[in-house]
Amino acid sequence: MIKKPLFSIVIVNYNYGKFLKQAIESVINQKFNNYELIIIDGGSTDDSVDIIKSFESHISYWISEKDNGQSDAFNKGFSKANGEFYFWLNADDILMPNSLINISNYLNKDNKCKWIAANTVFFNEDNEILRCRRGIKWKDFLIKQGPIYVYGPSTIFHKELYNKANGFDEGLYYTMDTDLWMRFSNLGYKFYRLPKYVWGLRIHNESKTSHAFTNMANPKFEKERLYIQSKNNWTYKSQKIIFQKIYKILSGTYLFSYIDTLNYKNTKLQK
């Protein structure tokens, strides 16, 4: 009987060849091999396919064909998954060193855990760290009807959650991850906070979420955000946002994020 992998990791890509190699290497250079890597390319016209082929021996499944966007690509990738836990990377992001070992160790300590949220490092096109951000533990009084501050690929979830939630909403372009978290919660699941940096999120002008790190509003994003709140009966209450900020101050979340940023800012991530 073939042993199924612990993790199924999906990388989605479209014309991000200049970043894709680093994303793939961030996975295959992990000191942990109980995973499968799936790559879904949306029919790139740059050198992405050549890069994928150069790593073919490390990839369980890949395809390059036109799709209907990022959510469709995620669903397509996870439909090929054989692992117990799922997560994804965007082609312009990276998996931080030792992440798979840290996640596996955490799961071994708590076999009831079905959903993990970890911490995030933000870096630029030159691989320089810009900031570090820690997250809070799940507490109903903070999170129910408030923002679920979980960055997409910093999250690892059991296939059971994904299947019960019926995957990603393919009509969403910006907020498909938050929509999924809301549906997980509405199904009765809560995340466990892993106090490790797992996801490296690259900030650059071509990113569709670059507006989140500038003062420029994005009406399309705001429209989607309001839509998923209505869809999931998750209207944000202003007092919950205030409570979250107070809790982050009292718990030291802001302080330790700031200290980490001071320690690592401008440090270069390995290519």
Q: What pLDDT digit, counting tens, does each position of 130-185 carry? A: 999 999 989 888 888 888 888 777 899 999 999 999 999 999 999 999 999 999 99
Report which of 59, 92, 89, 13 is spatially closest to residue 269, judged by C-alpha positions. 92
Q: pTM, whole model, 2 decimals?
A: 0.92
pLDDT above 50 (res 2)? no
Other C-beta atoms lying within 10 Å of the C-beta of residue 212: 12
Indicate the residue type of 46. Answer: D
pLDDT at 57: 96
H/E element, 10? strand 7-13
Other C-beta atoms lying within 10 Å of the C-beta of residue 60: 16
Confidence of residue 208 (pLDDT cuts 50, 70, 90): low
pLDDT at 52: 97
Whether the CB-CB separation of 106 and 116 falls below 8 Å is answered with yes
Indicate the residue type of 80. Answer: K
CA dist., res. 144 & res. 1, Å (int)? 43
Confidence of residue 3 (pLDDT cuts 50, 70, 90): low
Report which of 61, 57, 50 is spatially closest to residue 15, judged by C-alpha positions. 50
Query: Model confidence over 232-268: pLDDT tens digits?
Result: 998 888 888 888 899 999 999 999 999 999 999 988 8
Average pLDDT, the chain: 90
Looking up tokens 């978290």, which residue turns up? 181
Kindly list the distances between the CA atom of residue 136 and the CA atoms of 25, 119, 140, 142, 251, in Å, as whole numbers in the listed order: 29, 9, 12, 9, 8
pLDDT at 111: 75
Q: Classify residue 264 as exposed, middle or buried by CB count within 10 Å of its CB (0-12, 13-18, 19+).
A: middle
State phi, psi for 91 to the nearest 5 degrees.
-65, -15
Whether the CB-CB separation of 253 and 134 falls below 8 Å is answered with yes
pLDDT above 60 (res 211)? no
